[in-house]
Each structure stands twice: as C-alpha cells, then as structure tokens.
Chain A
Amino acid sequence: MTICQFFLQGRCRFGDRCWNEHPGAGGAGGGRQQQPSGSNRRGWNPSSQRYSSVIQPSSFSKSTPWGGSRDQEKPSFSSDSGASTSRNRGFGLSQNPFASPSSDEQKDEKKLLEGIIKDMEVWESSGQWMFSVYSPVKKKPNISGFTDISPEELRLEYHNYLTSNNLQSYLNSLQQLINQWRNRVNELKNLNTSANIASLSDVKGGVNQAAATFGFGSMQGITFGPPGFPVHNSSSANAQNFSFKPSSGFASAASGSPSVFGNTPAFGAAPPASSAITTSTPTFGFGKPAITSAASFSFKSPAASSFGSPGFSGFPAPMAAGSVGAPAFGSGTSVAGFGNLGSHSHSAFSKSSSDTFGNSSISTSLPVSNGSITTDNVLFTPKDQLTAEELEQFQSKKFTLGKIPLKPPPVELLNI
C-alpha cells in the first residue's frame, strides 16, 4: 500500500479509515495476505485509488506535465482538512475556497488522464495481452482505438492461415495490429490538453459508443484476407489524406475516384463547414467519396467512416499504415467487406462519436446510406437530388416560409 503523506505530516484526516498506509499503525493490521485483500478491502473505488496512488512523489516525476498543477492542488486539499470529513475528495474540493466548480471538473479530468497514462505505462511494461479494450474507469465505456481479440480468436486465425499456407499475411496483419496498438498506447500516454478533451469525450460521451466501433472488428469470418491487403496498401495513401482535414481529403478523393459530388472546388470552398461537420456529425459526410479504388470500400456497405480527427493531428500517419490493423479483413462476405471498410475507419478516427459506423449491425448503417441525402451528410446536394420545388426556392432571391428546403443548396447555384 502507498504511504499516507498526510499521516507522515501528522495531519491525516481519515485516521483509521485512511486507505493509505500509516507506517507503524498500518503494519500490524497488514498481517494477512496483503496482495489481494489489502488493495481491495474497501472495494475498488477507482477515483480514490487513483488519488492515493497519484499523490505520491514518485508519480510526480512520471506525470511531469501535471506536477506543477498538483503542487498547487496539495495545499488546497490540506486546507480543507478541518472542513470536510467526507472521504470523497470531490467534496473536499467543492468546499475549497480556492476551487471553482469548473476547476473541480478539471481536476477530475486530470485524475482521469493520469489514470489513463499510468494504465498505459503498466500495459506496455507488464506484458499483458495487448488486444484488449480498455476503459479508464470501471463503469465507463471503452476508449476507442482498441480492439478486443481473444487469444483463442487469434490462435484460430493462425491455424487457418497455417493450413492455407498463408502465414506471411497473418504475420503482416498481426504486425499491423501490434503497431496500431502501440501507437494508440503512446498516444494515450502523451495526452496533452487539447487531445484530452477529444479523448475524454470517448469516456464521457455516452455508453457503447466506443464499444460499437470495433464491434465488427470481431473475428467474424475473419480471414485477414490476402485480397484485402494489397488493396489496403494502395488505399492507405488515400487514407492518409483523408485522415487529416476533410477538405483536403475530399480533394484527393475527388481527383482519384468518381466522387458523387463531382466538383473538387466545392470541397475546397467548404473547409469551415467541413470542420464543423467533423466535430458534430463526423461520420456521415466522408463516407461517400470513399475510395472506390480500394475494393474494400464497396459502396454497398455504406459504412461511412469519419476520417477527420481534429484532436489527433499526429495520429493518422501511423494509423494509415496500421489502418489495416483492425481485425475484420475478411473479404468474402458482405459483413467482411463491411469490415474492411471499417478497418480504415478504426484507425483513422479516435473519437467515439464517429464509430456509429463501426457498429457491427449492418442495419444501423443502411439507414445512413439511404438517408444520406439529408443535410447532415454532405455539404451540397447534387442538383438532380433536389425536387423542383426546392430548386425553385434556391433559385429565388428569398426563401418562402414553409417552403424552405431542408437540403443544402446545390453547388452550382452558389455565387461565391
């Protein structure tokens, strides 16, 4: 157990109830096996445990970005010692005259991030199974960027490849999975403030969002399909373009493939709008100009994937290379084709909001493709998709109330 700093200073306000060790006093009580019971005798309250393990000086050095802010926090904690008797540090903070409500949240966030960083370090150094989902706090949803592959699934893949004499592609895909994992872990270890918010949205933003991403990354008919691979390699270049700014991504796609939306300049003109789209409903817009050159991106499987991840600028390059890392490479079935699409989507975005398309149930994605004509999807509607009435509205000087079109105007009618 960790030593209680306050006890050493003679002012631990929890006394016997303290979860940390009071040297001398706590030694006698620790006669029983400490390993399992000591750390959990009071249950595993994640936030409190994080506090106790993080306040130690040794962990200061690990999380130096927080070192400065923590030093400021410490005095503020101790000033509460008389005021608050609750063990919940949150309460202590709220009574802290120095702390405003927003900084409470920030402190929680910081704790969370520190927890994540620590967990990532442990994950890397401990040699534990790497293909696992992860959540920083027990009850919260998974952080995106990690897939769940059980050892049995991986082994089955190995055996299948062995029998089909295709071991090299297994090794390749495995290597990419590993790279993807490593990149994601490094990313999470190096969380800075701007990325914090993005990743925290993973955690806070609703249940099952991140979980859904890799749902179909499952080994459903997983074949690590060789046909998928050369295709992926060629499309990875495109993926790189896609993953940064949507507008540039569009430009590249439009040049290469028969984009539904035709005019490249249209997208060039729309950067502000596109970035707005990435943050709000990132998933829809980018699926359409999907790389048709890559066989994996079959138009039939309408899983549009968001390639924009504003928070993770350094992300996409390695991701593109590792983009095929997501497990579902099978190209035989429609599900598998879907999976191929998703493999790009996995790597390219880290925000959980974008993973509705990673969702394994194809039924959810179908409405997307059908409803893709809605305003959310695209920046401009092709002229042929507008009704005559809507076209008239766009062409008139002013909109008539009651007849305002719900779709965005066609590109052709814009006067810029």
Chain B
Amino acid sequence: MAGVRALGVLSRFTSRRYALYSARTHVNYEVKGDVAVVRINDPNSKVNTLSVQMQKEMAEVMDEVWANNAVQSAVLISSKPGCFIAGADINMIQGCNNAEEVTTLSKEGQKMFERIEKSPKPIVAAINGSCLGGGLEVGLPNAFDMMLTGRNIRADKAKKMGLVHQLVDPLGPGLKSPEERTMDYLEEVAIEYARGIVSKKIPIHKVKGSMESKLLLNYVMSFGLVRNQIYNTVQSKVMKQSKGLYPAPLKIIECVKAGVEQGPVAGYLAESQNFGQLAKTSESAALIGLYQGQVACKKNRFGTPQREVKTLAILGAGLMGAGIAQVTVDKGVHTVLKDTTVSGLARGEQQVYKGLNDKTKKKNITSFQRDSILSNLTGQLDYSNFAKADMVIEAVFEDINIKHAVLKEVEAVVSPHCIFATNTSALPIKDIAAASKRPDKVIGMHYFSPVDKMQLLEIITTDKTSKDTTASAVAVGLKQGKVIIVVRDGPGFYTTRCLAPMLAEAVRVLQEGVDPKKLDALTTSFGFPVGAATLADEVGIDVAAHVAEDLGKAFGSRFGGGNVEVLKTMVDLGFKGRKSGKGCYIYQPGLKTKEVNPDIVDIGQSSDQDSPCYRLVSRFVNEAVLCLQEGILINPLEGDIGAVFGLGFPPCLGGPFRFVDSFGADKLVEKMRQYEAVYGNQFTPCQLLLDHAKDSTKRFHM
C-alpha cells in the first residue's frame, strides 16, 4: 500500500501552501433521503489530497454519518470534476521533521482507512478522474463499492481488474456543462446504487474467475515454501529493475510479507514505519525535488505570446523532424512536414502514422481519432503553404552551411511574424542566426530523441532573441507536453555540454579496455537508466564525434578524454550507432538483445580499473555547475530537470546539483583532485564547485 501511495506522490501532487484550520472546509455531507452524500473538496487546491485536515474532517463526518439513524448508506464523492483524491499531501510529508512524524501521520491515515473499511453502512465511492495513492485506498477496501467515470481506457481497465464495480459514462452537454452534469449524474447513479445495496437488489461481491481456481490459489498459498518462493521472485525482479537504488519497492515487499505472515496488525505497523523511514530518505527528497521542478518547468514564465502558433512547419522528416511532428499534430496544430526527397518524406510520415496507430492498437485512441489527427498533417517537398506558418522548426543535418541555406530559404517565403526555431544539439544559435534578416525571431529548440518519449525540451535564446519569440517557443513546447528548460546560447548549450565530457570519458574508459557491456552495467548500476555505451550508440557515434570535435575546439583540452580519432575511425568504419546497425553494439532489426560489436574491442588495451562511474559523473557534474557559473543556466533547478529528463542522469540522485548537495561538494572536489592528478585538467573543479566545497553551508537547493 505504501507503494501505491508513493506512486501518488510521484505522479500527481500539487503544492499546497497552507491548510486552514477552521470549521469544516474539506469534507461536508448532505443527507438525501436515506443516503448521506459525503463531498470532498480541498478549497485551497486544484486537487484533493489526504492532508491532516482532510483526514480529521473525514473522520468527523463519518462518525456523524454512522451515528445518524436515518442514514442507511453513504456516497463518497469529490466536488472537483476530474479528481477524486490524488494521494497524500506531499507538503505535509515534506513538512515533517523526521521519520517518526511521518510514521504517525501514516498511522492516522491507516486508522481512517480501516474505519471506513469496517463501516457498518455500505459506502459507495463515486470517482471521477484521478484516484491515486491514498485516494485509491479510500476506494479500495472490500466494504466499499466503487464507481468510476473517465474518458480513457484506464476506467475500463480498473473495472476489468475488479478495482471498481461499475462504470458511469461521462455525459455530453445538456442543460448544464458536460463536467457539471456528469458530476451530478455520477452522484445520482451512486445514490441509486447505494440504495440498491441496502435493499440487497445489488450484490456487493462479484466473484471473479472460477471458484476452483480461487480455491486452488488459496491452497497453494497456504504453503510457506510457495510464498517464500513468490517473495523471492518478486524481490529479484525488483532488484533487476531498480538495481537496488530505490528503497521503496523492497520495503513494499517487506510490508506485504509482514502482513501476510504475521497478520494485519504487524503489516500495518511495518507499513507505517517503513513509510516514515522512506519519506525521509535522500531518494525521497530527490524525487520530490524532481516532481516540484517538473511542475515549475511546465509553466511559461515568459507570459502569453502575442500570437498562438496554429500552423507549425517542420523542415526535415528524419527521426527528429517526424518526432516533432508526432508530438505536435495531435495537439490540434496544423503541422507541415517538409523533406527534400520522397523517400525521406514517406519514412517520416510513416513514423507519425505508426506512433498514432500504436496508440490505436493500445486502445488509447480510436481509429477515427487517429485519422482525424492525421488530417492535420501535410507532407510536402516544397515551400508551398509556408506563408501560413506561425513557426518553422528546422531539423535538417547538423551542418552550419545547410542550416544557413534553409534559414534563407525559409525567410524568403514565410510571413514576417513567423518564428524560426532550429533543432540543433550543438551548433551555437547565434552562428545560425547570423544568416538571418530578423535574428529576434530565431531561437533554438533542442529536442531529444525519441521525441515522443523524451520529456525534455531545451530552449536556447541568444542575446537577440525577443521575449515574445521565447514565450511562443515555450508555449509550443508546453503544448507538445514537454518539460522545458530555457538556457542561454553557447557551444553545446547546457545538455550537450554536460553530456560531451561524460561521453569523452566513456570513450576513454572503453579505450582502457572495459568492454561496452561492462561499462553499461557499471553506469546503470549507478542509476543511469541507459548505460554510457548504449547512450553513445543512441546519440549516434557520428554525432558524438561531431560534437566532441566542435566542443573541443570551443573549450579546449577540458573536453578531451577518449581520443576523438577513435570516434572518427568508428564513423569511417560505418559504426554510427543504432541507426547504422553497428556502434558499440551490433543491432539487428527485430532482435531485442544486442551483441557487443567485436571490432570495437580492438580499439583499446585491457587494463584493470576500479569503477569509472565517478569519473563520468564528476565531469558531467562539473560541467553542469560551470554552466550555472557562466550563466548558461538560469538556476540549478532547471539544471537538474535538464540532466534527468534529457540525459538520464540518475533520478534517485535528483540531478547534478542535488547530487552535489547530497554527496558533498568537498568530497566531490577531493575525488576530482585525485583524478586530476592522473588524467589532467579535464578534472579540474570549476570555481563555483570550489566555493561550495569550501563553505558547507552553500547549497544549490535549500
């Protein structure tokens, strides 16, 4: 259960600054005939959370409902369309000073759930919208019957899983707005349902599956040996997925085990104690920090742009271009995808189609929605209709001359208000903008591949980029569902600049004879979701070589490490990474497993090494801190978000800046000095990092 709650914490919490302690503000009820309708409504937030106040009032109200003889049953409903209970209150957990306080809170919550579960009167939970974490527990207990409304497939799934008993379809417009009327309707149906339960017209428990299989399951589960085997299997699965870096899933197994083996009392106790401990771990702080950062990066601090982008043109239907089209076309934006060849365009359009068709297969959208979304996409080989474009994003080959050429071509055909965004991972925007007649309309929008999966968008502004252009780019990114960081222009901006030294170091490690699989295993066990060798293949060896060379020129020996010539040799051999089928690994279509490219082993000589992870990470972190020092980054928060969501920096560490805070700047500097002695100036800590090392009160995050 703690796990479910933790899920809520990660995915759905909003900040709530204060709770009012006055007469009942969060929970109220009204008796309709013999049914008490209990309404949950947090007046201070867009969502309902299980705050102290909510729990207290809920307990009071339920006492009154139980005491009222006229009431036969109750309906539990939220007054907020689209949200039942989103889970525990994250600020409440953060506000606790130690694990014991959290444990106490958790116990209070358990008590409330237990009481509701043991309610002498039937309770129908009428759920419209998100029901997460603790919210799910309010609905879940067996004594309950639940209802759920929702537009998406999740509601059907919940019914199939047996989480809810009945679905209510959302209504369209009637005599009130669809949202209002749907809430009323849900309440009406829930009341009817509650009465049906009381009059025994509606059975509460529906036996799912055949009795025999249930009996068999119970019988098998009665053997301790079988149960142990199950615990072990689950545990090893969790370990495999989390590498033991996230403590919560293991604790959940512990709690379930305690509950099953030693009874519910021990289970509840284990749950509340573990929850208390978990809430105060550095992992918890890191994840909460990321959550809050993500919320902050989903806002447009540049205000509303003068013009909404209604038509977006994309140059280049490659992986990137088509990916950008994919995330744009389904937001109701007319999307023009232009390429120079028919085959390139066809490939790009197929990518967009496939993305949508996969969603159709998963029943997230209907085939009709797919078709109607696709009707917003125009594929073409020329610049016709570009006059209508409000923004053009180019995703052509990373070559300054080509970029200049398309910029000039575009400026010749678009209207004066049209923004030109360039999707480059390393070329300085000001260099690209140098060819522009209106540099105020030029901006960098650095997407990450695959665009439909990677959440981050790095927006790069030059000194000449206007504020409205930035606001418009951010607005488009937000519409595309991106988490956005806005950084200043410079070679490699922020993300590429952090990644490059890390990859350079990875190449050096490979050259030292660590094989790619080993390197991947080492880095993933450190918390990177994708190993360094695989990452190099994903980014593309040619891109890495390109970037290494460019940034090497800009920043000098600090960006050295692995020999750039090695990368170039690989490119010459055709080992460009995943896209060419060979890189550090060999990729075969249709095969999920990949073999180490035997030819690559030859590039290094074997030697014994201790874990090279800190070499990789310290260069990454140092560069990130330097970006803040140089003003490329506005604040450490965006630096953390960019690193985690764009580059896969270990989420359990919360990002490079939080890592410095939790690991200790002084310890990091000490490590770097050791490496510096061996490898040279690539490990020289930057000034800001040294400042933090000197003064332990200096922190990036409060």
Are A and B interaction partners?
no
